Amino acid sequence: MQPDLVNRILITGGAGFIGSHLADALLRLGNYVVAVDNLETGTLANIVHLKDNPNFRFVEANILDGTALQPLVESVDYIFHLAASVGVELVLEKSLDTLKNNTFGTDIVLKLAQHCGNKKVVLTSTSEVYGNSVEIPFREDSALNIGPPHIARWGYAVSKLYDEFLAMSYYQEMGLPITICRLFNTVGPRQSGRYGMVLPRFVSQATLNVPITVYGDGLQTRCFTHVRDVADAMVRISHLSAAEGEIFNLGSQNEITIDDLANLVKKTLNSESDIVYVPYSEAYQNDFVDIRHRVPDISKIKTYIEYHPSPDLASIVLDIAKYSLDD
């Protein structure tokens, strides 16, 4: 990546897995980064390597606290808004908090961005907004098929889709410069399996030589992308005025079944773990609904920036395992 103009940048959720890698990418370019996080799912361990960097500042605060957030927004040139409740297990356990954090928090961030001089906002959304869309791969203009409200997992999808509608309304009615990135299964060092993230959970189990637990039949497919590729793409797209008012899928098109992923992790790490299959009703809730296939169409973003996500999933597995051992 070539250096760009130096800016003062706010990252909400900056102590999170993706937020911390985004901070790394921005600091490499000489930018000044302010990371704000309430440390609910983020952790200081993710940013400990930045504590002595004079161009980095961490503020522990909740984005629902507009009074704490306003001076931070006033002090920067633009914002990456990543703060949200994430992870299947957390979403199911705290569905009400998920809805409040993801919708009210985004409303506060966008309102302050507009109030403080129409600061550019890059909003991270999720592949979950596609729901169980029958159109594969998912395109940014695909029809969305989100399930009913009595199934808790869809609350996360709806909250993030609401964020998108809110952001586009600010763009269309207020002229607030907005770019939306829908992320697909971003993985890499610093990601925790604590809230249901599948790859770090598999890596941890394989490293400990305990059973690798596959939920469901293992035939569901996903496309995994290294967090560094995602962070670099977000930085690149943030500088393009032509990308304002646009939605972009960010991910890989290298589709793999969860069963094959478990076997890949086991083989790559020379693990003695058995692979066992756990019904969704035991892992989550009786009414849990999984998305069978999740594959992005990434042709749109490739027309705006150079974007070539690494296809080497085994290297990503080793990267995660090395970080876990060093931690």
Q: Which of 1-5, 106-110, 288-292, 298-302 has the lowest mean pLDDT?
A: 1-5
250 and 183 Cβ atoms separated by less than 8 Å: yes
Give the tens place of pLDDT for each residue, 273-287.
999 999 988 877 666
Q: What's the CA gap between 35 and 110, in Å, rounded?
A: 17
Confirm whether 74 is domain-assigned: yes
Number of domains in the chain: 1
| Catalytic site includes residue 156 | yes
Q: What is the DSSP letter of 296?
A: B
The better pLDDT of the pair 326, 198 is held by 198
CATH of the domain at 19: 3.40.50.720
Instruction: Kindly name the residue from 130, 156, 171, 215 that is annotated as catalytic.
Output: 156
Domain that holds residue 135: 8-184+227-252+295-309
Q: What's the CA gap between 167 and 172, in Å, rounded?
A: 9
CA distances from 106 to 70, 202, 241 (A): 13, 32, 21
Confirm whether 105 is domain-assigned: yes
CA distances from 185 to 112, 150, 295 (A): 29, 25, 10
131 and 191 Cβ atoms separated by less than 8 Å: no
Confirm whether 246 is domain-assigned: yes
Confirm whether 221 is domain-assigned: no
What per-residue confidence (pLDDT) applies to 286?
Answer: 64
Give the tens place of pLDDT for each residue, 119-163.
999 999 999 999 988 789 999 999 898 888 888 778 889 999 999
